[in-house]
Amino acid sequence: MSFYIGHEAPKLWRRICAETTIEINLLAENWKYILGGLIFQYIHGLGARGVHYLHRPGPTLQDAGYFLLPELGSDNAYISETVFTTIFLSFILWTFHPFIFKTKKIYTVLIWCRVLAFLVACQFLRMITFYSTQLPGPNYHCREGSKLATLPRPDSVLEVLLLNFPRGLLYGCGDLIFSSHMIFSLVFVRTYQKYGTRRFIKQCAWIAVIAQSFLIVASRKHYTVDVVVAWYTVNLVVFFVDKKLPELPDRSSAASLLPVSKDSKTKEENHKLLNGNTDPEDWRPRTQINGMIMEDGSAVHVEAAVNGVYRQ
């Protein structure tokens, strides 16, 4: 075992370095999209913080899900957050797997450009809806009698801009329709459904999202309408935005993204590392049809993005 690790370690390091070179080049081309998406995450948090100042606690609205699902109680509300955190962290780890594993179908920078585009579109619609009408929050800390249900007027603009992180985000009220947890979960699962390769993981991911939908209602974090609206809004938004975005380039175009090197042998080795192959006879393109990764790896001619770079 020790001999195997010692033999493979240099190869793994070369693969990481080669992948990093590619991702840096892609980041230089697409940093504006990444930065814009991250900035909007802050804007979305700012909007959620702002609506909390407008929130007025009141009687919990009549809800079909509350009749059907027993209340978990404040002591068990963490179950819903645990499922969400598992989905969230698992997806992040998957997007960075090309740096480590040989079987690579995506570029990390390009997949996050796509994911952030989905998130921004959904979160923009969400901000419009929860500012249109403020509903009394059903969560335990948003009900009448709770000190966290309302926020006093801020003493300064800085108090609003800092979002009281992370407490202000964890104990927000008023940002209900539609569920932010469902936005992230559905965007992540749909993205893996299209670009992931493990059918079993895809099935488990959809089961986890469905379970989370029920848990959100059972933990009284949202009304049932917040979850229902999220299901069809996020799926429709992702469907239409995805049609407008250029398709991700195939991994077989990795050689065109490598820096020019006088050492052709080194460049060939880097191509093998990036393509997930170590033997020349196994050096074959990793293809996809309409953005769908083929489970059996069968080769079909597809049109790659111009120069293999994600552009709008």
Annotation says 301 is catalytic: no
* Active-site annotation holder among 44, 181, 250, 271: 181
* Active-site annotation holder among 52, 55, 175, 226: 226
Map tokens 């080769």 to a residue: 299
Q: Are 210 and 182 in contact (CB under 8 A)?
A: no
Report how far apart, in Å, the C-alpha atoms of 302 and of each of 232, 251, 295 are. Answer: 30, 12, 16
Chain centre distance of CA 40: 14
Chain centre distance of CA 235: 14
Report how far apart, in Å, the C-alpha atoms of 64 and of each of 138, 223, 225, 228, 231 are. Answer: 13, 9, 9, 12, 17
Q: Tell me how far apart the alpha carbons of residues 15 and 10 are, in angstroms, rounded to a whole number.
A: 9
| Helix 78-95 with 180-195: angle, nearest 10 deg | 40
Encoded amino acid at 52, one letter: H
Annotation says 181 is catalytic: yes
Quote helix, strand, coil % in the chain, to nearest 5.
Answer: 65, 0, 35
Q: Tell me how far apart the alpha carbons of residues 196 and 206 are, in angstroms, rounded to a whole number.
A: 13
Paired strand residues for 292: 289
Q: Tell me how far apart the alpha carbons of residues 29 and 34 are, in angstroms, rounded to a whole number.
A: 10
- In eight-state DSSP terms, residue 74 is T
Side-chain half-sphere exposure of 252, counting CA atoms within 13 A: 16
Annotation says 222 is catalytic: yes
Query: Structure tokens of 83?
Result: 């499922």
Report how far apart, in Å, the C-alpha atoms of 214 and of each of 129, 139, 182, 219, 229 are. Answer: 22, 15, 11, 9, 14
* Active-site annotation holder among 52, 55, 222, 271: 222
- In eight-state DSSP terms, residue 281 is G
Active-site residue set: 181, 222, 226
